[in-house]
Amino acid sequence: MARRSLQTRILEGLRRSFDLIRENQRLAMIMVSTVLVMSGQGVISPVLPLFARSFGASAASVGLTLSVFAVARLVLNVPLGIASDRYGRRPLLVAGPLVTGVGMIGSGFVEGIPDLLFWRLIAGAGSAMYMTGAQVYLVDISTQRNRARVLGANQGALLVGVSLGPGLGGVLAEAFGFRLPFLAVGGAALLTSVYGYLRLPETHGPRGPAGSHEQSADPSDPSEEPAWRRLLGSRDFLAVSLLTAMVFLTRAGGRFTVFPLLAASEFGYSASSLGALFTAMALINLIGLGPAATLTDRVGHKAAILPSGLVTAVALALIAWTGDPGVFLGAALLLAVGTSIMGPAPAAYAADVAPREVRGLAMGLYRSAGDLGFVIGPVLLGAIADATTLGGALAVNAVVVLAVTLLFAAIARQRRREP
């Protein structure tokens, strides 16, 4: 009976997500762009660490090839968020994939780590443009009642791209070498830019974001504190920003840097088998996303965030501890389950606590917090791995996940839902 109830809930969550997509054409358009962008990103996820290793790079240097991608995003997220408030979302959605494509194609022709770092920086700048524009765009067309499902639907598109990419990237790398996947990614990004130019309408006008019915303070009221100051002083916004920094630190440092090196060195995984494992993990994330988004919209953000952090910490600890291939595989899949539970809850929470008139700034700051974790994670965990062991680095990651999750649960307030 319990099993049937769980299956019913999963199917109901997926059905609600599909209904939401059918009703919202602009959401569907963004999802198409996201699939194209993220399938390209997924292609290189199992290839990049091994490609960097082929130049004789240390674990810390391998991590740097991921971190430098996020450096550009970290620097640009806030200016781009402000620009989206002033000039609109559409320019970012068109220019972002174009710049990303140039960076990825350049990465395919490098002859050493310095060149690779330069082109990864360019690709990161394009990623900042697209992801900032897309996230604010989705907040524009959603309300507090359905925001987690709207963001979750696009996250599902992201996971479809991530699911399609790694297996293809591993096969291309083994058949044609490490360079071809980067060229394929560049081509997909250029197609995304053309699609965005032809299909995506603007959602931001002189009267504020379209599709929003949320109330905002009167900016002409002299007694009202400026929106940007309320945002920066919000303990809820600071708490969710720290949480997303931890999520990105784990994703870039643990999952995409140390984890593949451990799988290859300790358990004999090749590029293609790593790609297959990454695809399986992404599919688990995709299956759990609809129920996670529905749960968040119904009962609140903490109901998704707290169990996700606990399961993720346990999975990382198991991966760090085990020497058994079966336990390693099971823990990797458990890691995917843990991350899928959280779903879009942090992004929805950040959007809910952000004043409407500085929504672009808020999402830019939120993304910068994540990218700070993306920058720190690979280099920090890579350096810990060089100084100790790969398993030791993942054990540290598990402790960080547990500590930040408990801190968020303690200080972040549950938001009241719209009637």
> What's the mean pLDDT in 180-189?
84
Superfamily of domain 15-201+227-411: MFS general substrate transporter like domains (1.20.1250.20)
- Torsional sign, CA 275, 276, 279, 285: negative
Chain centroid, CA 39 distance in Å: 13
CA distance 247 to 207: 34
**Mean of the pLDDT values across residues 147-168?**
76
Please compute the mean of the pLDDT values over residues 162-191 and round it to a whole number: 79
**Does residue 50 carry a pLDDT above 90?**
no
Of the two residues 308 and 204, the one the predictor is more confident about is: 308
Q: For 104-131, what is each residue's pLDDT tens digit? A: 899 888 888 888 889 888 988 888 888 8
> Hey, what are 136's tokens?
């604010």
Domain ranges for the chain? 15-201+227-411
Task: Report the C-alpha gap between 151 and 135 in whole angstroms.
Answer: 8
Q: What is the pLDDT of residue 230?
A: 83
Share of the chain above pLDDT 70, in %: 86
pLDDT tens digits, residue range 348-381?
888 888 887 777 888 888 888 987 888 788 889 9
CB atoms within 10 A of CB 413: 12
Who has greater pLDDT, 22 or 412? 412
Least confident of 200-209, 223-232, 316-325, 377-386: 200-209
Mean pLDDT of all residues belonging to the chain: 81
Q: What is the pLDDT of residues 187-198, one digit of tens each?
A: 888 888 888 888
CA angle 38, 286, 418 (to 5 degrees): 100
Reported as a single tens digit per residue, the pLDDT across 61-88 is: 777 877 787 788 788 888 988 888 888 8
The three state secondary structure string of the chain is CHHHHHHHHHHHHHHHHHHHHHHCHHHHHHHHHHHHHHHHHHHHCCCHHHHHHCCCCCHHHHHHHHHHHHHHHHHHHHHHHHHHHHHCCHHHHHHHHHHHHHHHHHHCCCCCHHHHHHHHHHHHHHHHHHHHHHHHHHHHCCCCCCHHHHHHHHHHHHHHHHHHHHHHHHHHHHHHCCHHHHHHHHHHHHHHHHHHHHHCCCCEECCEECCCCCCCCCCCCCCCCCHHHHHHCCHHHHHHHHHHHHHHHHHHHHHHHHHHHHHHHHHCCCHHHHHHHHHHHHHHHHHHHHHHHHHHHHHCCHHHHHHHHHHHHHHHHHHHHCCCHHHHHHHHHHHHHHHHHHCCHHHHHHHHHCCHHHHHHHHHHHHHHHHHHHHHHHHHHHHHHHHCCHHHHHHHHHHHHHHHHHHHHHHCCCCCCCC
User: What percent of the chain shows pLDDT beyond 90?
Assistant: 21
Closest CA to 349 of 285, 408, 265: 408
pLDDT band at 335 (very low <50, low <70, confident <90, very high): very high
Please tell me which residue, 295 or 95, carries the higher pLDDT value. 95
- Which carries the bigger pLDDT value, residue 176 or residue 381? 381
Residue 416 and residue 405 in contact, taking contact as beta carbons nearer than 8 Å? no
